Structure formats: C-alpha cells, structure tokens
Amino acid sequence: MTNSNSITTWVFVLGNVVTSIATAQQGATGGQWPTHGGDKGSTKYAPLDQITADNFGDLEVAWKWDSIDADVLAMDGVRVRPEKFESTPLMVDGVLYTSTSFSQVAAINAGTGETIWKYDTGSWRDGRPANMGFIHRGVSYWTDGDDERIIIATGNSKLIALNAKTGKPISSFGENGRVDLFIGLNRPGRLKEHQVNSPPMICRDVIITGCVIADAVRTREATRGDVRAYDVRTGEKLWQFVSIPQEGEFGNETWEDGSWKYSGNTNVWSIISADEELGYVYLPFGAPTSDYYGGERPGDNLYANSLVCVDVETGKRVWHFQTVHHDLWDYDIASAPNLVDVVVDGKAIKAVAQVSKTGFTYVFDRVTGEPVWPIIETPVPQSTVPGEKTSPTQPIPTKPPSFSVVGVTEETIVDYTPELKKAALEIVKEYGFAPIFTPPSEKGVFFAPSGGGGANWSGAALDPETSMLYVAAISSLEFLRVGKPDPNRSSLAYHRIDYGHRIRGPKGHGLIKSRAGIIAIDLKQGTHAWVGSTDGGKGEWGWSFPLATKSLVLAGKNGAIVALDKSTGKRRGIRHLNDANGVLIGSVTGGPMTYMHEGKQYIVTPVTDEKLNGSLVALALP
C-alpha cells in the first residue's frame, strides 16, 4: 500500500520562508473576541486578568440571553425541535453575534444581554439537517474598516451575508444575500446528506467553508466533502478543494480500484484555522465513507484524516499530513488546528498543533509541513475481515505523549486495585487486547480511544505567551464489530452491527484507566506539564470546553465553569451555572469566550437545559 506521507510535498515561497518570528498568534486582543477561537489561529486565548483565582468565587450571573429559537417553537404547526445549543458568540465593539440551533442569527448588547437585532434564515423550514440535526456552532465577522458583515453557513446549506449593524441581508452578496452551497456538489444536494454547522473562516477577504456529510450510510456512494471558497463581498465562488483526488490529481492513486469515483465524506466538519500573514488556511479533514469498513475503498485514501494546508488565494495544496491511513475507526480530525509561534531547541518555528480523536498531538512547521518532532510509521495489526485491506503502518508521534489512553493493553487496563484489574482482564480476555489501530472484526474488538476521541470538536486552547497547549481530553472505550448487511438495504459488503452495544467494566468501573479533563502540553519541550480535573465534584463524565486567559485556564463542563491554575493544573475555583435562586440554568454545550466591556471582564458560555432550551450565560464580578 502506498504511504501517502511519503508523497507529501512542500512548496517553498520566498516571501513565506520566515527566519524569525515577527508576529505571533496573540489570541483575542483589545478585549474583543472577533472569531470563533478568539483569533484565526484558534488559540481560544485572551490576555485578560481582571478575573483571577482570588476572585473567581465572586462571579455572578450578569445576564442571560435566551435563544430566539423559542420564537419559532411558538409558531402554530411547528414540529421541529432544536438539539443542544452549541454556538460560541463573537464580540466586536460592544456587540455579541451568535447563531442558534435553528441557524438563526442575533446581535446582543455585550453589557446587558438585550437583543439588538435578529434574523431568521429560515433554515429550519427545510427540516432536520444531516447527522447531528439542529445544532449550530457560530457565525463569522468581517470588516474592511467601513463595511461590517456577519457571515453564516446554515443547516440547510446556504451561505448568507448580513449587515452587522442592522441584521439585513447584503443584497449584492450572491442572490439577495445568499449562496446555495448545494450547487457544485458531486451528488445532487440533499439535506439528509449535506449541511453546515460550523462558522466559516474568513482570511484575506475569502470565505472558506467545510460541511457536514451524513455518517453511517448504507451505500459505498456518498457526497464528497469538498472545501469551497467565496469572495466575502460578492459571494462569487473562488475555488474548490476536491477532498477525494480525481483522475490525474495528486493523491488519486491512494483510492485504488477506481474507488475515487464514488466514495464520499472526507469532509471538514469542524473549525478551520488560518494564518493571515502567510495566506495559508489549515483544513482538518474527517473520515471517508464508510466509517468502519474500507473494502470498497482500498488504499490510504487521501485527504481523509489529513491536516491540509492550502493557499487562500488559489486553494492549491501547500502541504498535507495524513494522521490515519485507510481509517476504520471514525478517527476524524475533529477540532481546530492551533497555530503557535514557538522556540524548540533554540529554533524559532511557526508551528501548528493538531489534536485528534486518536489521542495524539501532531505538531508541524506550519510553513513547510515538516514535523517538529519525528512521526514514525509504525507496524499495526491487520484486518481479518474478507475484502478488507488495511495499511501495514500508521503514523505515531514521538512527541508529545498521547493525552488519552491509547489502545487496550495490559498497561491501560483499569488497575486501581489488584481485584479490579483481575476482573477487567477476565472481561477483556474473551476478545483479546487491542493496541491502537487494531481493525474491526466479525468477532468484535475493543478500541480506545473510541470514535468520539481522544479529543473532539471542543479541541484545545493555547497560551501564545508560554506555548502551553490545554487539551480537552477524555479516555473512552468502544466495542466494535462488523458483519454483512441486508443486501436489499445496503451495497456495502460489511458494516458495523453493534451500535449501542456496551460491555461494562467490573463493579461499575470502566475497563481502562480514566483520564478526563484538561491536559497541559508544553510545546517547547513536547512534554506534558500537568493533568487537571474538570470534575464538578460529583463524579461527572463528559467533554470539557477549554478557554485560556492571562490568569487562568477555564473549562466549561456539565453545569459549571471550572478554574485551573495555569502552572500546576490545580483547581482554583468552580462556578456552578445556577440562577439567583440556586437553580441550575443548564449545562455547558459549547465553547466559552471572554471579553472586556466598559471596564468589566465577562465570561460567556452557551448552555442547554434539560428541555433543550438554549441560552447564553454571562458571568462577571459584582
């Protein structure tokens, strides 16, 4: 099998060869929060320190904004229902901008939480979008100093430009403010197969958007997840990066037996990052069709599971790295790449750190694509499923260490007591140990991290002053078995047959050692600095959403914001998201952000209550 990393090429542009670091990714400066990740490098960092460990316990709910999706739900005959409220708002010049689960847009006063304007894109009228349904993760902001626009890519695959002051569509953009993202797909656009729920990236006046493609399909044919770019002023399409190389294109040979003709997915569904100075955009690609059986797509399958750097002006590939060859575990690159300017062994490097579902952090020179530390092609177990052809090796970073429990081995089995370990080994013995990248089988295998990661879309925050990466990590285990589907319902030779199947560990424990919370990784050394717990004190499990400030590492998890010491990871405070009566407002379901407004620092986070009502909750000092 071709090793796709061996065909990685680097394009050296004289103006882009940087010998010293002049401008770093500095996070959200000036007290603002103008992009989903704070800056275009997705640092999720703000150099604010009004809120500290000493006063964190004094935080109060400053205001609460309820999602305008309630307006839709109040209409006669409406049968649709939103899912979790996941939108991280932006803040520019005293105004917050957010999307809702129904892909509506609102502008909100940053000091009071009062709605300034709202706009219904009508996306919800077309029905439930692909995969996760009615969720949306945010909007994008653009200005040239005079014109100000809010850009949203919607759940029904429309790209819409709004006037940031009024919320009215920009009539000169596309057709009356809209571009139809169904146009240009390799298959006819259908909502059950294609949508967008992440904010586009805007770099050098170019809008770049990925998409969501339906998972768990029953056919080998699927919509391809191409990345597309549009002029921010006119909506004119500028370029399209084809995610599965077609005949004659670089990487086409990694889709053997003509599988490039019909295969799909291979999409960027998460957050895109960009370097405005270099003019480079960093695309985190997900898995190909289908998630757990690849006999219909032999080969390494570029650009699936790859971090791809493209030139924003042309859409041409500058460099790429494939983190998983011929994926059979749904190991998408699910989070935004973090851009950081770092000094390693005395060498100044413009770097990009990519955390992944695999539990590894892949660190590259973001100009050339050269790994900062060696990434070794390592022999892995091979498939026993008829027709499957797995890669003989997978790329394993030498640094930093994995931030999740990787593989089901004797070293990763739960061992809090000798009795627990013995009982867990008895359970595992039936199926055997499974190092990472052990392929699915007809008997069934455990795999860790699970298809959820590792790291998922909550990703990592990064302090550009210290080059410390704060990963929202979890150790998770899944059982995976494949079998023959009903030929009347599927054209696949094999598919997953154990959805929902759970094998419990002994005495209520998991089978593997637990690790959940924030892992601090020193990107100057490639080492772990500390592991911080985001448990709210009740043994809660689940994802954390990280945010870094000059004074603290914050994590939104379940019904609280947790504050950790940046040097040690020790708990410095916890603010449960309760109202004045002590009633829980909801659980954190998206990334928190922070900003300064009229001399006061605010922390704002999206939350969802038990009835799936969404809100933004703002915390501030009295």
- If you count DSSP H runs as helices and E runs as strands, how many of each does the chain have, helices first? 2, 41
**Arithmetic mean of pLDDT, 589-612:** 97
Under the banding of pLDDT at 50, 70 and 90, the label for residue 171 is very high
**Arithmetic mean of pLDDT, 521-536:** 91
pLDDT at 501 over 80: no
Q: What is the pLDDT of residue 7?
A: 40
Cα(403)–Cα(520) distance, rounded to whole angstroms?
9
pLDDT at 240 over 60: yes
pLDDT at 18 over 70: no
45-65 pLDDT, tens per residue? 999 999 999 999 999 999 999
**Arithmetic mean of pLDDT, 346-360:** 97
Under the banding of pLDDT at 50, 70 and 90, the label for residue 202 is very high
Report which of 590, 468, 620 is spatially closest to residue 199, judged by C-alpha positions.
590
Q: What is the pLDDT of residue 524?
A: 98
- Ranges 5-19, 311-325, 586-600: which has the least confidence: 5-19
Contacts of 381 (CB under 8 A, 6+ apart): 434, 435, 437, 438, 439
pLDDT at 594 over 50: yes
**Arithmetic mean of pLDDT, 159-172:** 98
- Ranges 4-13, 220-229, 371-380, 408-417: which has the least confidence: 4-13
Q: Give me the percent of the chain exceeding a pLDDT of 90.
A: 85
Q: What is the pLDDT of residue 216?
A: 76
**Arithmetic mean of pLDDT, 98-117:** 98
pLDDT at 19 over 90: no
pLDDT at 328 over 60: yes
Asked if 256 and 6 touch (Cβ cutoff 8 Å), the reply is no
- 502 or 556, which is more confident: 556
Contacts of 75 (CB under 8 A, 6+ apart): none
Under the banding of pLDDT at 50, 70 and 90, the label for residue 533 is confident
pLDDT at 540 over 70: no
296-313 pLDDT, tens per residue? 999 999 999 999 999 999
- 25 or 19, which is more confident: 25
**Arithmetic mean of pLDDT, 133-151:** 97
Q: What is the pLDDT of residue 513?
A: 84
Under the banding of pLDDT at 50, 70 and 90, the label for residue 541 is low
**Arithmetic mean of pLDDT, 259-275:** 97
pLDDT at 6 over 50: no
Contacts of 387 (CB under 8 A, 6+ apart): 295, 493, 494
Q: Which class for 71: exposed (0-12), middle (13-18), buried (19 or more C-beta within 10 A)?
A: middle
Domains and CATH numbers, the chain: 4-10+17-620 (2.140.10.10)
Q: What is the pLDDT of residue 536?
A: 55
Output the 3-class SS for 368-385.
CCCECCCEEEEECCCCCC
SS3 205: coil
| Average per-residue pLDDT for the chain | 93
Beginning with the edge strand found earlier in the chain, give each strand of the sheet holding 158-163 in spatial order.
140-143, 148-153, 158-163, 178-180
Cα(433)–Cα(413) distance, rounded to whole angstroms?
10
Under the banding of pLDDT at 50, 70 and 90, the label for residue 507 is confident
354-407 pLDDT, tens per residue? 999 999 999 999 999 999 999 999 999 999 999 999 999 999 999 999 999 999
Report which of 336, 340, 467, 461 is spatially closest to residue 21, judged by C-alpha positions.
340
Q: What is the pLDDT of residue 388?
A: 97
Here the tokens at position 167 are 């919320």
